[in-house]
């Protein structure tokens, strides 16, 4: 029994050490990538790109479902993007609340028959709306079919060479598209996809209105942990994977795709719970197999704020879904794992996903249980037990500190007080936030085994009432 | 196996070490940030003082004592960073460049701008821009070398440096880079279109270059700002180029010129083998049609309306948009397409009639109690038949509830009814 316990304990320690080494290696690469991107952004003539008639036009596709609160602010931010030529296609995927009515009122929409190319299959369209005030805006009301179906519908309406697929609950800074497209327009022949960092906020529309280029934490523990989690993921992993040419997840909240590539892939798939990571894997799989030159980037600029769940229950639902889709995708593309034919995608990216995403919930639960049993049985005394978790808390906080540091050195867009808050949250992450993700990960694994495909959309956060205006 | 006490000792020490390391790193991060904010405020103050000192940008050869006093507290790296950013004003960038040359010597600046390893690449970039600010005679040669190198960031900076120089010699280097495809042609073209000195005479010879891409970009840049009537004949020749992209850009350039001969030239391209040329021709014709006499305009409209039956979606779409842009006067030519044998032409015509407001106008006429014109009623019926139930429902929705009974009655009179 002691031997078994020790074996498990040492294995857990080895797993943690391996993860830490991987993270530190990725941070090193991310440092290099972020530094290069920062320099490039520093010397980029954005005014010329903004004013140029040669800047590649972009079709922005925003699927929405029951986004009565966020649809209008999100659409306003898209129409307010500082980019020379774009169109915005909002696809209302059969909302049952007042989403469509809110959009109609806000943008003076009128219904119009609009013939389009049915290149990708999607559920029937009920009506197409055009804005009387802004000809760039089209709203397509269709029967519910899920996000992938809505995206494919939007692709059918899109007229430009590049697509920007976004979430209907995300609010963008004015320079979002300009900064994301700047590297793309320099190399449109090779760059087929690009993502960029976004933040988590409980009320993104207020954040975007208030702060402009300054980022802030939410002063809400759960939201701030999510914000930190995303920052760490983008900075530590996705930037490094970009440098290694194995960027494996263009997030659905903000993803730029070359339209001909999406059509070549046959559009987004409804067979997976989420469409974003699967499309990224599919492109790597196909292009590496065929030996075609291509690049998919993740840029470190924070371009938007998206709504994050306020409650633990909602967060668990969301993260279980993410775990589920990760497992679905990894299982579907398991042939890439460890094969030199798929280069760094198969040799670096896939192993990470298998070891540290798919297996993580099971390994972590086993570790915690084993250590607890070891403490209970006296194999390990309680001070040692607590010291172990304390060590892990700080050890996992160190890469977070590096990630925050790299972002701050590159962009200097957080206030020092918010930096301090994020730093303090680092060691608390393991003790307060990770258990939630652990549970969500286990639930996601269970849902994957049960072939559950539900979206489990979380309820929109209740908005604070506007402050009362004192009478004159 | 470790004894319990030994394990505890190791873990406690590990906890202390990890915690200390985290605290140190966090503290360093915050200190770095506070130091950066302090330095940024200083730089803003320095920038403000330089700009208010009345520095003449282009004639600056040596820094004034005041500028020396302001800048000598900064490191070479900080000064180079200020030079390289496009957001830095010309006055400040020039002042920094002059100071850098005086402080570290022109030979050092030229060495910095000449070559680099992985660590000093960005220093080379800033040095190139500094030499451009100073209009140093070596700048042209060094910028040209950077443009020909394999590093895209340096090539991009070289383009900015040449734009900064903004004279004919710089334009010649840029145009040569465009011809050799040394850097993103669209980026070079963007700058050439806005170049400080006229460059048309340098670009015109490229219109007959053997490379189609070179002809393409030359025509595009020349077309955007063309005011010279003699350019028209050169561009008209390009509408017969063997390369379709060149024909397309020639048509787009013609669209921006005003000459009564243009419609005739462009009309022939409505049947070009390349669909994107046909689309460009449609858009160019729509722009030119507005200035034509009525009869000629009608002919152009009929020619565009015929493209509603094109095999390619982008051409049909261009035709629809062009016709909508020309407004209600096109309705008779478009209505004829309702009887086309081509289904795309029929539903495209219906969509155009919807978007120019004809259907709404007819419905409103009836809703006000006026007798509908039989011909127009027939057009309405045919348009709705081809437009489908969604077009009917959309028209009804646009009409409004108060006129709904009259609209339903009108639709019934032509054998139609709303689906919802």
Tell me the C-alpha to C-alpha distance, in Å, between residue A220 and each of A200, A215, A309, A415, A433.
Answer: 11, 15, 11, 16, 13
**Interfacial A residues in 180-209 facing B (CB < 8 Å):** 185-187
pLDDT in the model for residue B70: 74
| A387 chain-B contacts, CB cut-off 8 A | 8, 11-12, 14-15
Instruction: Answer yes or no: is the ipTM higher than 0.85.
Output: yes
Put simply, whether A427 touches B (Cβ < 8 Å) is: yes
pTM: 0.91
More confident residue, B254 or A64: A64
pLDDT in the model for residue A84: 94
Q: Do B32 and A405 touch (CB under 8 A)?
A: yes
pLDDT in the model for residue B258: 73
Number of residues that this document lists for chain A: 472
Q: Do B157 and A383 touch (CB under 8 A)?
A: no
Contact call for residues A9 and B7 (beta carbons, < 8 A): no
Nearest CA of chain B to the CA of A314: how many Å?
31
pLDDT in tens, B206-242: 999 999 999 999 999 998 766 677 788 888 999 999 9
Q: How confident is the model at residue B106 (pLDDT cuts 50, 70, 90)?
A: confident
pLDDT in the model for residue B195: 92
pLDDT in the model for residue B366: 77
pLDDT in the model for residue A470: 45
pLDDT in tens, B60-71: 456 677 777 778
The conformation of residue A377, written as its DSSP 8-state character, comes to T
Mutate to test the interface with A, among B4, B5, B6, B8 (most CBs of A within 10 A): B8
| A111 chain-B contacts, CB cut-off 8 A | 393-394, 397-398
pLDDT in tens, B327-367: 999 999 999 999 999 999 999 999 999 999 988 888 888 77
Q: How confident is the model at residue B57 (pLDDT cuts 50, 70, 90)?
A: very low
More confident residue, B73 or B382: B382
Q: Identify the residue whose tokens are 């920052």.
A: A231
Encode burial over A240-255: b for 16+ CB neighbours within 10 A, e otherwise: bbbbbbbbbbbbbbbb
Residues of chain A with pLDDT under 70: 1, 207-215, 455-472
**Interfacial A residues in 363-422 facing B (CB < 8 Å):** 378-381, 383-384, 387-388, 390-391, 394-395, 397-398, 401-402, 404-405, 408-409, 412, 416, 419-420
Q: Identify the residue whose tokens are 């608390």.
A: A428
Taking each helix axis from N to C end, the angle separating B389-399 and B358-367, rounded to the nearest 10 degrees, works out to 50
More confident residue, B246 or B233: B246
Q: Among all residues of chain B, which has the CA nearest to that of A43?
A: B85
| B84 chain-A contacts, CB cut-off 8 A | 42-43
| B189 chain-A contacts, CB cut-off 8 A | 54
Mutate to test the interface with B, among A10, A243, A384 (most CBs of B within 10 A): A384
- Whose CA is closest to A350, among A361, A336, A364, A362? A336
CA atoms within 13 A on the CB side of A406: 30
Q: What are φ and ψ of residue A91, in 5° steps?
A: -110, 105
pLDDT(B89) > 70 = yes
pLDDT(B59) > 60 = no
pLDDT(B284) > 70 = yes
Spell out the residues 6+ positions from residue A165 whose beta carbon is closer than 8 angstroms to its own.
A60, A61, A151, A154, A252, A254, A255, A256, A257, A276
More confident residue, A351 or B10: A351
Instruction: Select from A40, A125, A401 the Cβ nearest to the Cβ of B26.
Output: A401
Nearest CA of chain A to the CA of B308: how many Å?
12
Encode burial over A448-468: b for 16+ CB neighbours within 10 A, e otherwise: beeeebeeeebebbeeeeeee
Put simply, whether A260 touches B (Cβ < 8 Å) is: no
Q: What's the per-residue H, E or C state across chain B?
A: CCCHHHHHHHHHHHHHHHHHHHHHHHHHHHHHHHHHHHHHHHHHHHHHHHHHCCCCCCCCCCCCHHHHHHHCCCCHHHHHHHHHCCCCCHHHHHHHHHHHHHHHCHHHHHHHHHCCCCCCHHHHHHHHHHHHHHCCCHHHHHHHHHHHCCCHHHHHHHHHHHHHHCCHHHHHHHHHHHHHCCCCHHHHHHHHHCCCCCCHHHHHHHHHCCCHHHHHHHHHHHHHCCCCCHHHHHHHHHCCCCCHHHHHHHHHHHHCCCCCCHHHHHHHHHHCCCHHHHHHHHHHHHHHHCCCCHHHHHHHHHHHHHHHHCCCHHHHHHHHHHHHHHCHHHHHHHHHHHHCCCHHHHHHHHHHHHHCCHHHHHHHHHHCCCCCCHHHHHHHHHHHHHHCHHHHHHHHHHHCHHHHHHHHHHHHHCCCCCCC
pLDDT in the model for residue A471: 45
Q: How confident is the model at residue B293 (pLDDT cuts 50, 70, 90)?
A: confident
More confident residue, A311 or B92: A311
pLDDT in the model for residue A469: 43
Neighbours of B153 (CB within 10 A): 19
Phi/psi-derived region of residue A55, left when phi > 0, alpha when psi is between -120 and 50, beta in every other case: beta
Q: How confident is the model at residue B2 (pLDDT cuts 50, 70, 90)?
A: low
Neighbours of A156 (CB within 10 A): 21
pLDDT in tens, A182-217: 889 888 899 999 999 888 888 787 765 555 556 677
**Interfacial B residues in 305-324 facing A (CB < 8 Å):** 313, 317
Cα–Cα distance between B182 and B186 in angstroms, integer?
A: 12
CA atoms within 13 A on the CB side of B227: 3
Q: What is the mean pLDDT of chain B?
A: 87
Cα–Cα distance between A447 and A437 in angstroms, integer?
A: 15
Q: Do B390 and A398 touch (CB under 8 A)?
A: no
Q: Do A401 and B25 touch (CB under 8 A)?
A: yes
pLDDT in the model for residue B333: 93
Put simply, whether B272 touches A (Cβ < 8 Å) is: no
Put simply, whether B206 touches A (Cβ < 8 Å) is: no
pLDDT in tens, B26-48: 999 999 999 889 888 887 887 78
pLDDT(B272) > 90 = yes
pLDDT in the model for residue B58: 40
């Amino acid at each position: 029994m002691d031997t078994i316990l020790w074996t498990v304990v040492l294995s857990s320690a080895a797993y943690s050490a391996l993860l830490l080494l991987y993270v530190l290696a990725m941070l090193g690469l991310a440092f290099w990538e972020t530094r290069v991107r920062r320099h490039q952004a520093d010397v980029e003539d954005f005014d010329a790109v903004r004013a140029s008639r040669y800047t590649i036009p972009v079709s922005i596709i925003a699927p929405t479902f029951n986004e009565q609160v966020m649809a209008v602010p999100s659409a306003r931010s898209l129409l307010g993007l500082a980019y020379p030529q774009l169109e915005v296609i909002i696809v209302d995927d059969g909302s049952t609340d007042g989403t469509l009515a809110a959009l109609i009122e806000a943008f003076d929409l009128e219904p119009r028959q609009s013939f389009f190319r049915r290149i990708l299959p999607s559920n029937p369209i009920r009506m197409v709306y055009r804005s009387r005030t802004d000809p760039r805006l089209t709203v397509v009301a269709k029967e519910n079919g899920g996000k992938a179906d809505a995206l494919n519908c939007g692709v059918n309406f899109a007229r430009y060479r590049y697509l920007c697929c976004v979430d209907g609950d995300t609010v963008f800074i004015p320079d979002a598209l300009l900064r994301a497209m700047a590297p793309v327009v320099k190399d449109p022949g090779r760059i087929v996809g690009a993502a960029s960092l976004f933040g988590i906020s409980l009320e993104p529309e207020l954040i975007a209105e208030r702060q402009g280029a300054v980022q802030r934490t939410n002063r809400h523990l759960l939201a701030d942990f999510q914000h930190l989690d995303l920052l760490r993921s983008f900075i530590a992993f996705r930037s490094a994977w970009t440098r290694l040419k194995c960027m494996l997840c263009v997030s659905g909240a903000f993803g730029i795709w070359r339209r001909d590539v999406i059509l070549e892939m046959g559009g987004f798939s409804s067979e997976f719970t989420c469409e974003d990571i699967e499309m990224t894997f599919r492109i790597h799989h196909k292009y590496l197999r065929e030996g075609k030159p291509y690049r998919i980037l993740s840029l470190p600029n924070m371009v938007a704020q998206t709504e994050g769940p306020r409650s633990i229950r909602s967060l668990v639902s969301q993260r279980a879904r993410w775990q589920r889709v990760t497992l679905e995708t990894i299982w579907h593309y398991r042939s890439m794992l460890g094969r030199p034919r798929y280069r760094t995608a198969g040799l670096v990216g896939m192993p990470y996903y298998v070891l540290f995403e798919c297996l993580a919930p099971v390994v972590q639960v086993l570790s915690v249980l084993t250590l607890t049993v070891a403490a209970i049985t006296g194999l390990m005394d309680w001070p040692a037990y607590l010291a172990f978790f304390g060590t892990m808390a700080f050890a996992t906080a160190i890469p977070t500190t590096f990630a925050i540091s790299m972002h701050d050195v590159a962009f200097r867009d957080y206030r020092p007080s918010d930096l301090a808050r994020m730093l303090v949250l680092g060691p608390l992450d393991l003790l307060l936030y990770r258990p939630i993700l652990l549970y969500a990960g286990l639930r996601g694994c269970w849902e994957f085994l049960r072939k559950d495909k539900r979206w489990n959309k979380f309820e929109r956060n209740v908005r604070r009432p506007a402050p009362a205006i004192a009478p004159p | 196996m470790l004894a319990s006490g030994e394990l505890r000792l190791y873990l406690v020490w590990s906890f202390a070490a990890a915690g200390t390391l985290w605290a140190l790193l966090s503290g360093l991060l915050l200190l770095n940030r506070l130091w950066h904010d302090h330095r940024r405020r200083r730089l803003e103050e320095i920038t403000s003082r330089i700009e208010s000192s009345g520095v003449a940008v282009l004639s600056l050869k040596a820094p004034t004592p005041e500028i020396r006093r302001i800048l000598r507290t900064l490191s070479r790296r900080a000064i180079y960073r200020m030079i390289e950013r496009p957001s830095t004003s010309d006055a400040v960038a020039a002042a920094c460049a002059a100071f850098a040359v005086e402080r570290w010597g022109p030979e050092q600046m030229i060495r910095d701008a000449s070559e680099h390893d992985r660590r000093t690449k960005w220093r080379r970039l800033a040095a190139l821009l500094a030499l451009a600010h100073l209009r140093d005679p070596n700048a042209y040669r060094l910028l040209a070398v950077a443009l020909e190198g394999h590093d895209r960031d340096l090539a991009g900076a070289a383009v900015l440096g040449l734009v900064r120089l903004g004279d004919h010699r710089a334009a010649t280097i840029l145009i040569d880079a465009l011809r050799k495809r040394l850097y993103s042609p669209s980026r070079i073209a963007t700058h050439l279109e806005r170049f400080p000195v006229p460059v048309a005479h340098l670009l015109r010879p490229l219109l007959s270059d053997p490379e189609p891409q070179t002809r393409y970009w030359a025509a595009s840049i020349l077309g955007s700002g063309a005011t010279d009537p003699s350019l028209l004949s050169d561009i008209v020749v390009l509408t017969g180029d063997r390369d379709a992209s060149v024909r397309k850009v020639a048509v787009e350039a013609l669209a921006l010129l005003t000459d009564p001969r243009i419609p005739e030239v462009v009309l022939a391209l409505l049947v070009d083998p390349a669909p994107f040329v046909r689309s460009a021709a449609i858009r160019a014709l729509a722009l030119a049609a507005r200035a034509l006499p009525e009869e000629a305009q009608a002919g152009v409209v009929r020619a565009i309306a015929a493209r509603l039956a094109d095999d390619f979606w982008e051409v049909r779409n261009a035709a629809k948009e062009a016709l909508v842009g020309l407004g209600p006067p096109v309705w008779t030519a478009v209505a004829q397409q309702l009887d086309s044998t081509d289904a795309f032409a029929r539903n495209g015509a219906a969509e155009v009639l919807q978007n120019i407001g004809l259907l709404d106008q007819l419905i409103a006429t009836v809703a006000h109690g006026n007798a509908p014109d039989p011909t127009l009623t027939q057009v309405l019926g045919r348009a709705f038949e081809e437009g489908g139930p969604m077009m009917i429902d959309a028209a009804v929705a646009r009409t409004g509830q108060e006129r709904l009974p009259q609209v339903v009655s009108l639709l019934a009179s032509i054998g139609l009814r709303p689906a919802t």
